[in-house]
Amino acid sequence: MSTRTRGYVARTRTSITASGAAAILVLSLGVAVAPSGASSSYVSASPSAFCTSIISYHAKAPSGTNYASYRSWAKTNLPFFQKLASQAPNAASKTVLNELATIIKYEASTSNYKALGAYLVKNKTQWANGWKAFAAAVLNCAKSYL
């Protein structure tokens, strides 16, 4: 695999991890702080299954720096992303989460970087738009807790 493809795959993994961590941070901060002027009788609508899943997820980075440790991480976290895709609040979020689950599934079972890199390059615009939709869904979850 070329250095360029490896770099693209690494940046994609970093983006995925950073997006997940940011989403969890935003949600956890939103849950921890009561709205201003809220009294003890403040009641909000119950969160969706999607929001509950995001809040309950405790992201952990792969334990090592080699591909085997990442493959292990991917195998462990694949069921969470598949579940999240099934609970997505809109079609755009569902699409990007299904794509993410496909990529993680592929990474969990193969070491063919070249094919993965080609897939990511081919779909990068769709991928970027999907992550915008996912970020909007996560922010809506955070707002539902305020």
Q: Percentage of the chain with pLDDT > 70?
A: 69
What average pLDDT does the segment 76-103 reach? 88
pLDDT at residue 42, as a whole number: 47
Cα distance between residue 42 and residue 78, in whole Å: 36
The pair phi, psi for residue 14, each rounded to 5°, is -65, -40
The mean of the pLDDT values for the chain is 74
pLDDT at residue 86, as a whole number: 93
What average pLDDT does the segment 97-108 reach? 84
Cα distance between residue 9 and residue 74, in whole Å: 14
pLDDT at residue 43, as a whole number: 46
pLDDT at residue 67, as a whole number: 76
